[in-house]
Structure 1
Amino acid sequence: MTTGTEIAWIAADWGTTNLRIWALDAAGDIRAHRQSDRGMGKLNRDGFEPALLDLISDLLPGEGSLPVIICGMAGSRQGWAEAPYKSAPCAPPTIDDATILSSDDARLDVRILPGIKQMAPPDVMRGEETQIAGFLADHTAFSGTLCLPGTHSKWVALKDGRVERFQTFMTGESFALYSEHSVLRHGLASGTLNMDTFRDAVVRTVETPSGFASELFAVRAAGLIAGQTPEEASGRLSGLLIGAELAAVRDNFNLDDVVLLGSDRIATSYRSALGCLGYQVQMLDAGSITLRGLALAYSSFSKGSS
């Protein structure tokens, strides 16, 4: 059984939907990894500390305090405490940019890393900046494009260790809205995509993005009168949405040198979409990259406090 005396610090990725924590010892080994569904979207300001304690109270020391370094939506305006954004172009935030919290439980020493804002055009990120820091820690010479798929996907131009600019798309959220709350929901499969119709929709949307709105309703019509299966409909809808995103970024970002941070089905779909357009991309696990970024922050914290 893991005890508080074995734990040197806690890393936390606090999103809108979920909270994930890693408890690490002084050597950097993971002693515990836990997750809850108590994301920012389900909590008021007074609920963050209890939600964290529910996951880690048995890991805390009997005496003294334990560093807890957090990235993500806990630092938003609706979160535990607002951690002010850094402004792009900039290097990813470090522990020196973190907001220090005064917690009710004396065993907690909480630091929340800030996000990054971009003034023109207006855009923001929270959590992704820590993934970027983790990626750059092992790819210091990289100059190119990062794609971070998700509910709100991010495209990031990196150069000389800095975030030069970025762009956000609500593609994942749009898929959820269309598939759960629009007329299209009647003809879609649950959790299954036909990849042939997916790739076809990607290519056609990138080639003719002006047809996007009409193609959306055609997803419904093809199921009613043309024998389209629910799996084909889901693939087509996903391909239309990701294709529209790629049509928007292809002239603004270098797609010849893209790294995808993600290993789930969504990231795999992005890799397939880029592949059918002729782009070969590298895909890295987002979870381990996030932890790498948090560990980088802790390393600077521990050196500063020693």
Structure 2
Amino acid sequence: MSDDWIAVDWGTSHLRAWAMTGPEIRASAHSDDGMGRLSPEAFEPALLALVEAWLRPDGATPVVACGMVGARQGWVEAPYRAVPCAPAGGNGMIRALVHDDRLDVRIIPGLSQASPADVMRGEETQIAGFVAANPDFDGILCLPGTHTKWAHISAKEIVSFRTFMSGEIFALIAGQSVLRHSVTTDGFDDDAFLEAVSESLSRPESFAARAFCLRAGSLLDGLAAETARARLSGWLIGMELAAARAYWLGQPVVLIGAPALSGLYAKALQAQGLTPVTADGDAMTLAGLAAAHLGV
């Protein structure tokens, strides 16, 4: 029996797929056919357009997918599983209805938490990848992103988690508020960032007042855009750390995500005396999909 299969990470904006033989990547492809632009009947054609050349000539090729493909607006809803639970065991996957008998598509469910109310969809697969490689880990995983997740891991299970909209708030303020005129740069001031983190950790309630100082400072004092951008980022991450203190204080922390954003969280945590470890988000996604495929 062939051990070829296909791994899929299907988000709101993008579709990414990998042709796999066991745990090894044979090929990869991506498209802009994210969940947000597809009707339910359009998912199968979008997937076939990307992976048809990888399908087995005889029989169905297993496809394991994670992300927003399993949302209520996706291909088929993969209902949330409640924590505490294993992050992405293979037995809980939902089968998608397909018309092409060369496909056998299974979707990894997201996770939910009753109190405080919270959900994740996609991040559980990255967490599963990390746990599969580190089964004895007991501590905190932080997944920086548009909606950053902090998850407590113990005995191979997610015990609890919290979501912070810091990334989305940064994008909204930097792109649509009056501050958009003050942060138009890709540059970054590390010292200003760390100072802002410290300010928010000690007085998070002052953010709204501090934020407008960026606009005033650019008008009156010629505040550099890279300094303004770094301060905005630092204040938001600092507020997040203040609220998530119960997760990271005195705990081993692993950051899973894109290197640039994970690097900012690492600097902020190092300033608080922690030594976080980093792991690549794409690698953990693939490892989690492989673990689900094997039914781990």
TM-score relative to the length of structure 1: 0.92
Is 1:274–1:280's contact at 8 Å kept on the other side of the alignment? yes
Aligned length: 296
Structure 1 runs not aligned, ≥5 long: 302-306
Q: 1:229 to 1:6 in 2, by over 3 A?
A: farther
AA matched with 1:134: G
Q: What is the CA-CA distance between 1:255 and the residue it aligns to?
A: 5.0
Q: Does the residue aligned with 1:251 lie in a helix, a strand or coil? A: helix
The structure showing larger relative contact order (alpha-carbon pairs under 8 Å, at least 6 residues apart) is 2
Partner of 2:11: 15
Residue in structure 1 matched with residue 95 of structure 2 by the alignment: 100
Aligned to 1:304: none
**1: distance between equivalents of 2:109 and 2:239?**
30
1:125-140 matches, within 5 Å, as 125-140=120-135
TM-score normalized by structure 2?
0.95
- 2: CA distance, partners of 1:168 / 1:255: 20
Residue 85 (structure 2) aligns with: 90
Which whole-Å CA distance do the structure 1 matches of 2:18 and 2:247 have between them? 36
- CA offsets 1:1-44 (integer angstroms, 9 cap, x no match): xxxx9871000111122211111124x32111122222212222
Q: Report the residue type matching 1:211 in the other structure.
A: S
Q: Is the 8 A contact 1:145 1:253 kept in 2?
A: yes
Retained in 2: the 8 A contact 1:256–1:280?
Answer: no
The match for 1:296 among 265, 285, 291 is 291
**2:57 match: secondary structure:** coil
Instruction: Give me the whole-angstrom Cα distance separating, in 2, the residues matched to 1:190 and 1:255.
Output: 35
How far apart are the structure 2 equivalents of 1:222 and 1:256? 38
**1:174 counterpart = 2:169:** yes
Going from structure 1 to structure 2, the CA distance change for 1:181 and 1:284 (only over 3 Å counts) comes to: same
Q: 1:224 aligns with which of 196, 212, 219?
A: 219
SS at structure 2 position matched to 1:67? strand
Q: Could you say what secondary structure the match of 2:151 adopts?
A: strand
Percent of aligned positions that are identical: 47
Spell out the pairing of 1:18-97 with structure 2 (5 A cutoff).
18-26=14-22, 28-97=23-92
- Residue by residue, what CA displacement relative to the aligned partner does 1:101-138 show, whole Å, maximum 9, x if unpaired? 12122111000010110000000001111111111112
Which of 139, 142, 149 matches 1:144?
139
The answer (yes or no) to whether the contact 1:145–1:255 under 8 Å persists in 2 is no
